[in-house]
């Protein structure tokens, strides 16, 4: 296993399987009231340049529940704001901490952190990827569908960071992934090309959401404007209108399709209230599973 998780391409299929197995076990143990102390004496640092509810909290609670501790580091309150280089910060933090979870804009900055850190660095979302989200989402798929093999997994909406991590997961696991995005908002071409080279499944991009949703076992959507794209919100809302996930779009999907969204959600934009709160939605399980998956990731990387 690599020292860091910067993208899902850092993982082999066996690594995914190890995380799924341990996260499911940890979830079961938590429900039974079994206490875990695997990270006693360890400290995770969290550097977040963008807002977060789920990712930050689930990493922090994960450390507490595993007997360790976490420290939230607001980047603007460190010397980084006065231009202390990343390479210096990374080396200093490595002398105090046992792991770092970072949410920031640039994937290159994250890479630099990882390069100069002696400790594991975990991507907690960048403009390009959200790998831990998709690990916990796949855990949710396994819980609801019994596995991921042979499923038609459909992404509807923006070709964004979360979609890129789905593409990488598809590459490593051989998923059948269809992404329906408006023209001009397709996933990154290089990411797609690299994934297709590695994949033994299929990764298809289309601008037809209705065709993409046909016989889908999983339909996943996300906001139309991600963090940092707020000024594009209005223009995007017009272009993305046909990609709204509602009851009509679900009509030709599999009868027991599950509906996924990483949250936070804009009700009435990318998804209707009815579908989000309806019987096919598994969004709250997704949120819960971030906690169990983050525990598994931290145990494996930090222990
Ligand atoms: N899904 C997710 O990453 O949520 P937060 O932005 O609240 O962490
Ligand atoms: N694509 C969204 C995901 C939020 C968890 C964003 O980057 O804002």
Residues 6+ apart with CB under 8 A from 55: 101, 103, 124, 125, 132, 133, 290
pLDDT digits (tens, 9 = 90+) for 19-69: 999 999 999 999 999 999 999 999 999 999 999 999 999 999 999 999 999
Ligand 1, atom 1, lies closest to the CA of 262
What is the Å distance from ligand 2's center to 223 Cα?
7
Beta strand pairing call for 152-156 and 218-221:
parallel
pLDDT, average across residues 199-221: 97
What is the Å distance from ligand 2's center to 106 Cα?
14
Q: Is the dihedral of CA 139, 145, 151, 152 positive or negative?
A: negative
Q: How far apart are CA 224 and CA 234, in angstroms?
A: 10
Q: Residue 238 burial by CB count (10 A; 0-12/13-18/19+): exposed, middle or buried?
A: exposed
pLDDT at 84 > cutoff 90 = yes
Ligand 1 atom having least distance to the Cα of 125: 3
Ligand 2 atom having least distance to the Cα of 222: 1
pLDDT, average across residues 154-170: 98
pLDDT at 101 > cutoff 90 = yes
pLDDT digits (tens, 9 = 90+) for 104-139: 999 999 999 999 999 999 999 999 999 999 999 999
Ligand 2, atom 7, lies closest to the CA of 226
pLDDT digits (tens, 9 = 90+) for 55-71: 999 999 999 999 999 99
What is the Å distance from ligand 2's center to 32 Cα?
33
The C-alpha torsion from 284 through 287 and 292 to 295, rounded to 10°, is -170
* Among 48, 53, 129, 260, residue to substitute to test ligand 1 (most atoms within 8 Å of Cβ): 53
**Is the distance from the beta carbon of residue 294 to the nearest atom of ligand 1 less than 6 Å?**
no
pLDDT, average across residues 83-110: 97
* Among 52, 107, 157, 160, residue to substitute to test ligand 2 (most atoms within 8 Å of Cβ): 160
The 10 Å Cβ neighbour count of residue 79 is 11
pLDDT at 76 > cutoff 90 = no
Give the tokens for residue 67.
């007997």
Q: Which pTM was predicted?
A: 0.97
In this prediction, residue 172 has a pLDDT band, given cuts at 50, 70 and 90, of very high
Mean pLDDT, all residues of the chain: 97
Q: Is 159 helix (H, G, I), strand (E, B) or coil?
A: coil
User: Which domains, ranges and CATH numbers included, belong to the chain?
Assistant: 8-129+287-302 (3.40.50.1370), 134-283 (3.40.50.1370)
**Among 75-89, 121-135, 136-150, which is the least confidently predicted range?**
75-89
For residue 303, the model assigns a pLDDT of 79
Q: How far apart are CA 167 and CA 115, in angstroms?
A: 24
pLDDT, average across residues 244-262: 97
For residue 198, the model assigns a pLDDT of 94
Give the tokens for residue 258.
């599950």
pLDDT at 154 > cutoff 90 = yes
Ligand 1, atom 7, lies closest to the CA of 53
Ligand 2 atom having least distance to the Cα of 263: 5
**Is the distance from the beta carbon of residue 161 to the nearest atom of ligand 2 less than 6 Å?**
yes
pLDDT at 228 > cutoff 90 = yes
In this prediction, residue 75 has a pLDDT band, given cuts at 50, 70 and 90, of confident
Ligand at minimal distance from the CA of 48 is 1
47 touches 112 (CB < 8 A): no
For residue 239, the model assigns a pLDDT of 97
């Amino acid at each position: 296993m690599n020292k860091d998780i910067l993208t899902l391409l850092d993982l082999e299929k066996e690594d995914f399987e190890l995380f799924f197995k341990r996260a499911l076990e940890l979830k079961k143990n938590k429900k039974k009231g079994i206490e875990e102390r695997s990270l006693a004496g360890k400290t995770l640092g969290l550097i977040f340049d963008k807002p977060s509810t789920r990712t930050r909290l689930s990493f922090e609670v994960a450390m507490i529940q595993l007997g360790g501790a976490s420290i939230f580091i607001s980047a603007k309150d460190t010397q980084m704001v006065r231009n202390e280089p990343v390479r210096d910060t990374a080396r200093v933090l490595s002398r105090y901490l046992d792991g770092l979870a970072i949410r920031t804009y640039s994937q290159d900055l994250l890479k630099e952190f990882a390069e100069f850190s002696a400790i594991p660095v975990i991507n907690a979302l960048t403009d390009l990827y959200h790998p831990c989200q998709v690990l916990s989402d796949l855990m949710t798929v396994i819980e609801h569908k019994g596995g991921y093999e042979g499923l038609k997994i459909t992404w509807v909406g923006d070709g964004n960071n979360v979609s890129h991590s789905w593409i990488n997961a598809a590459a490593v696991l051989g998923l059948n992934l269809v992404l329906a995005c408006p023209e001009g908002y397709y996933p990154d071409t290089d990411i797609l090309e690299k994934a297709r080279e590695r994949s033994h499944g299929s990764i298809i991009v289309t601008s037809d959401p209705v065709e993409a949703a046909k016989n889908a076992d999983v339909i996943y959507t996300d906001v139309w404007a991600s963090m940092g794209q707020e000024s594009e919100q209005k223009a995007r809302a017009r272009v993305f209108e046909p990609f709204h996930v509602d009851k009509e779009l679900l009509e030709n999907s599999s009868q027991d399709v599950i509906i996924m969204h990483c949250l936070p959600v804009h009700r009435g934009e990318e998804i209707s209230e009815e579908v989000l709160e309806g019987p096919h939605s598994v969004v709250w399980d997704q949120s819960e599973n971030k906690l169990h998956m983050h525990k598994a990731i931290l145990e494996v990387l930090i222990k």
